[in-house]
Every structure is written in C-alpha cells, then in structure tokens.
Amino acid sequence: MLHSKTVTTMKAIYNKIIVSAMVGAAGLTIGGCTNLDETIYSRLASEKYEFTDADLEATIAPVYSSLRDVYWGWFGMADIMDESSDVWGIPNRIGIGWGDLYISLHKHEFNAGIGHFSVNWANNYAGVNACNQILANELVASSELIKAQVRAYRAMYYYNLFDLFRNIPLDTTFVHPDGWTPEQAAPEVTYKWIESELKEVADQCGDDISLGKLSKYAAYMQLAKLYLNHDAWFPNNKDNSYYQKCIDCLNVIINSGKFALATNYSDNFLEDISASPEIIFGIVYENKYASGNFMANLWIHNAGRARWNFSGWATGGGVVFPQFLDIYEEGDTRLENTWTGGPQYALDGSPIYLDGEPLDYGRELHSIDNPGCYPMESWRLVKYEIKSGDFGSSYDDVPYFRYADALLMKAECLLRLGGYNGETEDDAAALVTQVRARNFKADPSKAKVTAAQLKGGSKYNYGHRENTGELGGADNWVENYQGGADIELGGLLDELAREFVCEAHRRDDIIRFMIKGSNMNVYCGKSWFCKDPEADRHTDIFPIPQDALDGNPKLKQNPGYTAAN
C-alpha cells in the first residue's frame, strides 16, 4: 500500500539519523561476523594445533597398537589364519547364529566381499602407514634403535600382507605427490624388500627381550619364517638354500641362550605371559588399556561361562573338527590343556544346565551349514587362560613367536634338507622330542619321536565328513575319506597342529606341506568336514578386498578371483 506523501521535514531528518545509525551498526556487525574459522575444543586437528614434542612422541603408538588390531581385531589374524584350515571353523550354529561369512572361509569359497580380507588389509596397512610416518619424523625416529625397530615392525606388517594377499602395493615413503596412488609390486620384489629390510635392521633391534618390544631375535624369527615359506610361496622357483638360510636365522635365536621352553605348555597362554622364557615376541593385552583376545567368547557356550564365572558375551560359535582331535596321541596333555569336552560344572562343582538339560559338549558335529551345528556340539577351546569376572580371555597376551616354534621350524628345515651344517634328521627328531617332552610328563618315553615318524604320513583322516540329518532325527552321514598317508612330512605336520592350534599358524603350515607326488598342498588338495578338494591352488592367497579395489582403481584382483561387488 502507498505511503503517505505528507511527511514533515523534521520527521525526515529523524528518519535519516535512524537509518544511518542502523546501516552503520549493521556494517560493524557484519564486519565482525563473517569469520568462519573453526575452533577446536575436544579433538586435535593438525591444521589448528601445533604438536609439541611430547605429542609427536605419542604418534609412535600406532606402530605398536596396530599389531594388536592386526591380531585380535574383529576378523583379524587370529581368525583368518585358522578358519579356512583343517583344525577348526565356525559353522551355522543352530539357534545361535554366527556362521555367515565363516562358512565360505571353511569351504574355500573366497570372494572380495568377505570382511576378513578387508580387515586384515586395512589393519596391516595402518601399521605400515604408522611406520612410514614415524620414519619420516626425525624427532621421533631419533635413535638407531627406534629406527631399526620401526623398520622391523613395518617389515612384519608387510610380511602379513604378503602372506595373505601376495600382490600388494609396497610403499615405503610417507610424503607423496598429490594424487599419487600406489601400484602392486611383483611378489619377488616385495619378498626381496622384506628380506633385505629385516637383514639390514635385525642386528640393530637390540637384545632386550620384553613384551611389546621387537628385539633382534624377533626380527630373525620373522626372517626365518620368510625363508621357511619361500618355496610354498614361489612353487615355480623352489630353492633349498632358503631352508638353509632359515636355519641360520634360527640358530641366532637358539644359540643366544636367551630362550628356553616353558615348563608347562599352558605357561605360554596365561593372562600374563611375561614370565615364560619361551616368548621371543609377544603382543601385550591388558585390562585397562588394551583388550582383545576373544577366544573364550568365541568358543564357550553362554551357559558354560559359569565354569569360570566370566561375564563377557559368549556365543560358543567355534567347532573343532573331530578328525583333528583324533590325531592327539594318548597321554598328550596338550589335549586337555587345549580342549574341554563332556559335562560342564560350575565353579562350585554343580552341574550346569542349559534350558533344563545338563550342558555337555559333544565331540561329534553335524555340518558347517546343512543343518549346521547344534548348541552343545563340539569340544571347546580352553587353551588361553579364562579368568572370572570381566576378564574371560580378553586380556590374555599373544605369544606371537615362541621358542618352540623356532625349534620345530629348525626341525622342519633339517628334515626338508636331509641335514644341514653337520646336523642331521635325527637332530631334527630330537628337537621335536624336546618340544613334546613337557606334554608327556606321566610317561616321558611317549614324547620321543623318530625322523621316520615325522617324515611319514599324517594321522589326520582327511576327507569330507558331515551329518546332514537333524538332531533327534536319523543321522545322515556324508563321508568321503582321503586319509593323510600321502602327505610329505605328515608326522611333523600333525605335531604342528597339536602344538600351534589357535595361534594363527595353521593356514601357513598346510599351504607349505605338500601331497606327495603332486603339485597340490594340503590346504587346497585335502578335504575335511564340509570342505572339498580344490582343482587348483588359487586359494593359497586371498582375493584383494573389495574396498581396497574401490579405493584404488590401479589395483588388480588376484588370479582366480572376480570382484564380487
């Protein structure tokens, strides 16, 4: 609507003053209020905060802490190194769940979408990145010792990546040009790099053996493992000299006199393993700062927790294959140190009931997926110490490299070489006997093994074996046995199974051990539970995870796999 024409002069002047004042005020306000800088309060941001020297020191943490994630992160090394193997797996647990991704692992039906692959890729590369970052920082990488240890850690992360995925980007610098993305290195190149790094830094890593620290001996152990597996990783380029190099490295450890076998097998799996003389390298877990080990949660039935009164969640997913349990020898105390079966009793000795039935872990299993396994089926893992309250096994340290492993690795090389440097196959048998001794205290003679036994076949009755019937109904066994007699060094392979079950060990071992007269290894060629023999060995390595492919179009999928997504 129109405004009035008749405005007095006075009024107009008055208006003008007000307008000027308002425009002026607005101008001032606007000038002060276009500032869009961000203020940080409870988070640190590099762009907004200058790190002190102490802060920079703290950036070394992920060099070490990433290894905890690598080993015990969800789907981590503890899972991926065993769940595709012949000792244990996770089935469809009828009435409980689980099973989803683990069934494909068991059956070796790998694809890029399985969570285990992306987790292990990401966690190991996070470790690599942390190391690259520290090595680029002169303030933190201030001493030769720290530099050497960080480089050894990096080599260890790369070792894991190489072992799992083989065709991996090898990046050793921290600062890159904008837009740079890594490309996969040839396996030979990565292998050589890991070897030369470890060789270069091993002696500088120091003699100090304490948990969480990567000593000279840990570096040599990692190098020995690199050599031990060479022929398995490069089947077209086999070279016995790697076993010799392996022994040379192991001798540095053995001859140092710094290590000895623990009196009891279980000493290596306590909540705190720092007292065990057997630990060459261990990852520390602790109840306030670093929890992780969920073996008890994975294995123990919810009702079965009452035996220890541990309070964490427990779903009892894992199953140990009866064919594997069969290879334990009579009198071997590792069976009871590792597994529990039969009726379960609470701390006070009273029987534990599950929905009115006594809780009783059976040895037999139905199937991985059809129908799956019933809640009470399978013996349970008690290898890692389970403590009451919120401990369970959550704070148990990880024995990453054990002296027993060094001894058995040396035995394996001696057997593969038929003797080396004056040591014979009988010396190999003596090493194995030495490791076994603590497990046959009641009858020490049973500990003794011969080279012939070790070089003989495996006692593992390989073959497809499942019961597709339903609980309460008729059994329907589907069986197709292969046996294990045709496995090279089968006796030793069985020993490794009993000694290192659930120590992220088995996948490497059965990839390395071959079926006689073939180019097929146990991992791909043999069958167990619901896993059938494969036509080729492309599953020796896992597919490059899908999110890594998504994030870097330069990456190529491993042979034999198609991108699932």
x/- track of binding to another protein for residues 460-499 (CB under 8 A) = --------x-xx----------------------------
Out of 257, 349, 356, 422, point to the residue binding another protein (CB under 8 A): 356
Taking the least distance from each CB to another protein, the nearer of 55 and 536 is 55
Out of 139, 143, 176, 519, point to the residue binding another protein (CB under 8 A): 176
The neighbour count for residue 43, using CB atoms within 10 Å, is 7
Out of 71, 125, 220, 259, point to the residue binding another protein (CB under 8 A): 125
Which residues in the 213-232 window bind another protein by CB under 8 A?
Answer: none
- Distance between CA 80 and CA 462 in Å, rounded? 21
For the bound state, the minimum distance from the C-beta of residue 305 to another protein, rounded and expressed in Å, comes to: 9
- Distance between CA 462 and CA 226 in Å, rounded? 28
| 113 lies in the site for another protein, by CB under 8 A | yes
Give the binding-site size for another protein (rule: CB under 8 A).
123
Which residues in the 524-553 window bind another protein by CB under 8 A?
Answer: 546-553
| 559 lies in the site for another protein, by CB under 8 A | no
> Residues 6 or more apart from 18 whose CB is under 8 A from it?
none
The neighbour count for residue 188, using CB atoms within 10 Å, is 11
Which residues in the 85-104 window bind another protein by CB under 8 A?
Answer: 92, 94-101, 103-104
Q: Pairing state of beta strands 463-467 and 528-529?
A: parallel
Out of 70, 80, 81, 122, point to the residue binding another protein (CB under 8 A): 122
Q: Which alpha helices (DSSP H) does 456-500 contain, by range?
A: 490-500
DSSP 318: -
Taking the least distance from each CB to another protein, the nearer of 242 and 400 is 400
Give the residue carrying structure tokens 């073939």: 518
- State whether the Cα torsion 157-158-159-160 is positive or negative: positive
- Using the contact rule CB under 8 A, the part of the chain among 153-161, 180-188, 223-231, 235-243 near another protein is 180-188
Taking the least distance from each CB to another protein, the nearer of 54 and 442 is 54
Contact indicator for 529, 106 with CB cutoff of 8 Å:
yes
x/- track of binding to another protein for residues 305-344 (CB under 8 A) = ----x-xx--xx----------------------------
Contact indicator for 431, 456 with CB cutoff of 8 Å:
no
| Helix (H) or strand (E) segment spanning residue 524 | helix 522-525
| 288 lies in the site for another protein, by CB under 8 A | yes
| 212 lies in the site for another protein, by CB under 8 A | yes
- Distance between CA 22 and CA 554 in Å, rounded? 60
| 16 lies in the site for another protein, by CB under 8 A | yes
| 210 lies in the site for another protein, by CB under 8 A | yes
Residue 409: closest CA among 276, 304, 270, 508: 508
x/- track of binding to another protein for residues 26-55 (CB under 8 A) = x--xx--xxxxxxxxxxxxxxxx------x
Q: Which amino acid is at 260?
A: A
